[in-house]
Amino acid sequence: MNKGLSEFMMEAIRLSVSNVEEGAGGPFGCVVVKEGKIIARGVNQVTTSNDPTAHAEIVAIRNACAALNTFQLDGCDIYASCEPCPMCLGAIYWARPDKLFYANSKEDAAAIQFDDQFIYEEIAKPVEERKLFTQQILRDAALEAFKKWTESTIKKEY
């Protein structure tokens, strides 16, 4: 294995271990690398920030985008101590890094009660069959923003 790959992953793992030892959050760490250098780090901060979206990958992506002053991570690689959950995986795709590496699997996470399988299954179901009540309302009114977006000459596409 490439020395750089293992170095960067070991940093993500170190962050995950440290986060547990400090009682700061779940056992997850993440680093974002560009041009062979770590530009951002993130640890799970769900319980310390009272933010259910503050997963290590999300925190690292936010920090990387702030450091690079951009909303996309072109030319970057993400190293996560665990296979990303559905939310993080979606965010990673939106951030558009070049590569994603992970250590623990989602099955490893499920074995310690971090089981995201439920969400994967829910996403695959038709809206009306999901456990969370979901109903579309006021679509016609909401389409106004989409119409304006389509016609805008000042938008920044992504």
As a whole number of Å, the CA-based R_g of the chain is 18
Mark whether 107 is an active-site residue.
no
Token look-up 């920090």 returns 63
21, 22, 57, 157: the active-site residue = 57
Q: Residue 38: which of 20, 72, 15, 54 has the closest Cα?
A: 15
Residue 40: closest CA among 15, 17, 23: 15
Q: Count Cβ neighbours within 10 Å for each residue of 10-34 and write b for 16 or more, e otherwise.
A: ebbbebbeebeeeeebbbbbbbbbb
Phi/psi-derived region of residue 157, left when phi > 0, alpha when psi is between -120 and 50, beta in every other case: beta
Catalytic residues: 57
